[in-house]
Amino acid sequence: MPDEKKNAEALDRIARDCAALPRRDVRTAEDIIGYDALGLPGHQMPDGITRDQSTPHDPTFEKAVDAAERVMARDRDALKELAK
């Protein structure tokens, strides 16, 4: 029991010391982490561009993916045969 009390006192002392330090970043946790348009934690890259800005929406790519999904749904059996 004496070691537990000693450890608890040491942790309390560390917590008090940390609380006494000046606050250098006054942003909230939400502002620091941030969330992108998908609701995922975002991050800012060194050049100031966020993940959202670094991967812009590409309508051409989206059309190609839609077409591929239609082919995969329609020709499922043929694709299975080709995969063998």
25-79 pLDDT per residue, tens: 787 776 667 666 666 666 555 555 555 544 556 778 788 888 888 888 888 888 8
Structural domain for 77, as ranges:
2-83
Residue 77, number of CB atoms within 10 A of its CB:
8
Please spell the DSSP secondary structure of 4-38, one letter per residue.
HHHHHHHHHHHHHHHHHS--S----HHHHH-B-TT
Can you give the pLDDT at residue 20? 92
- Per the structure, the count of domains in the chain is 1
Considering only residues 5 and 40, tell me which one the structure prediction assigns the higher pLDDT: 5
pLDDT at 41: 63
